[in-house]
Every structure is written in structure tokens, then in C-alpha cells.
Amino acid sequence: MHVEPLEKLPRSVREFLSHYAMIVLSILTALALEQVALGLEHRHEGARAKEEIEQEIASNRANVEGSLKVTREYRRDWQVLLARAAAEVKDGTSTNESRLAILAQAGHRFGDATPALKTAAWDAAVASHAVDYLDHEDLSRYSQTYALQRFFSQAAWDTMRDNAARNMSDLSLPALTGTADAVPTLAILNSRVRALSILESQLSQTADALQGRAPPAVSAVEPASSASSTPIATSAASPVSR
């Protein structure tokens, strides 16, 4: 700020106060204008961060919904194979060849659709302190959404990583040996159905969180280890309830 020096000293108290008031008023005006400019800049940063975060959440929601659709298809295919294998065992028509054929079909439908969820917009807003200029309600909602997104992403990854390694090994052995016993065959199919059911439930809860609907308590999410310990008697059950 530049202040012009007085050309001559004030000759009275009134003249001094007049000059003093003008200087103070100029300083206050400059500070007020600066605060207005900063306020507009902060509002713009907050609006831009909100737009980018909303777009990222919408993109993640679309990815989750697409993954949920594919996961349901995988789970239904494996359930059909499991039901067929179980029915053949019950009526005594199950043979080594039929079980090998079922496992071969299962191998062709072995996969999952765990989505990769983005956090770049949120991370950038936090790093640039743009989150400081968001409304408190929006900030709370975004913080909760990304926290739930991280939780369910990790839970889904843990579920499918552990189960996939085990199932791939179990599926390859009958093909190598040419022998597929009834109970191990049902166990392989049942384990995969349960894992896909858990993933389906987790994806559904993630989609709810990204849509702003509060999911159930995180403690209700079935751990990955349960995918291999589910009794065969429950193999034909519907997916984990949401």
C-alpha cells in the first residue's frame, strides 16, 4: 500500500485528525477489498472442488453399479453349476466325468469385477485446503462417503484376493489329476458362490454409500475368511442380504 507523504505539517489538531481519518479510511477500505477478493477466490475454489468431487463420486458410483451387475452374473452362473452338481450327487447320477465337466465350465466363468475407485479429486481438495471452503454439510458428507468407500474397497479386495488364490488352486488340481471327487467339487463351487455373494453385498453397500444412503454398520460385513467355511448345505442360498 502506498501513502503519499504530507506536503506540509498540519497546522491544527482538526487538520491532523482529518489527514489521519483519511489514511485510516484508505487502509480499512483496502483491507476490506482484499477480504472481498479473498472471499470470492475461496468461494470459487470451494465450488470447483465440490464440482470435481461430485463428478468423481458419480464416476465411482457408475463403476460400482457396473461391477455389481457383472458380479451378479458370475454368482448366478456359479450357483447354477453348484445346484446341478449337488442334484447329481443326491440322485446318484454324478460321475467323475460329469464333475470334471462342471469344474471346467466353472473355470471358464472364473472371475470377479472388483472396481477401482478414484480418490484424486478428494485428495487434491484436501492437499490444497479447498475443503476448508466447502459447506459443513457437504464436507461431512464427502468425508463419510470416502471413508466408507475406502472401507468397502479394502473389504472387497481382501475377500476376492484370498478366495481367488484358493479357488484357482482347487480348480486346477482335478484337471491335472483327471479326478474330481463329489465333496471337494461341491466345496469348490460352494466356496466361490459364497465369496461372490459377499462381494455382491459389499458392492451393493458401496453403491448405497455413494448415493448418500447410509449402509448397515460395517461390523455386519461378512469377513473374507467365512467364504471358505460356509457349510455345503447353505450353498443354494440367496446372496448375502443387503
pLDDT, tens digit (0-9, with 9 covering 90-100), for 73-95: 999 999 999 999 999 999 999 99
Residue 5: how many other CB atoms lie within 10 Å: 4
Domain assignment of residue 20, given as a range: 13-234
Number of domains in the chain: 1
Average of per-residue pLDDT across 63-67: 93
Residue 9 — left, alpha, or beta (φ > 0 → left; ψ -120 to 50 → alpha)? beta
Q: CA-to-CA distance for 24 and 18, rounded, in angstroms? A: 10
The owner of cell 472401507 is 151
Single-letter code of the amino acid located at 143? S
pLDDT at position 2: 55
For 186-202, write each residue's pLDDT tens digit: 999 999 999 999 989 98
What is the average pLDDT value for the chain, to the nearest integer? Answer: 80
pLDDT at position 212: 74
> HSE of 23 in the Cβ direction (CA atoms, 13 Å)?
11
Residue 225: how many other CB atoms lie within 10 Å: 11
Examine residue 239 and state whether it is found in any structural domain, yes or no: no
Examine residue 1 and state whether it is found in any structural domain, yes or no: no
Examine residue 154 and state whether it is found in any structural domain, yes or no: yes
Cell of 119: 480418490
Examine residue 119 and state whether it is found in any structural domain, yes or no: yes
The owner of cell 483496502 is 30
Examine residue 49 and state whether it is found in any structural domain, yes or no: yes
pTM: 0.68
Examine residue 193 and state whether it is found in any structural domain, yes or no: yes
Alpha carbon 121 to chain centroid, angstroms:
14
Examine residue 8 and state whether it is found in any structural domain, yes or no: no
Average of per-residue pLDDT across 58-79: 93
pLDDT at position 161: 78
Examine residue 99 and state whether it is found in any structural domain, yes or no: yes
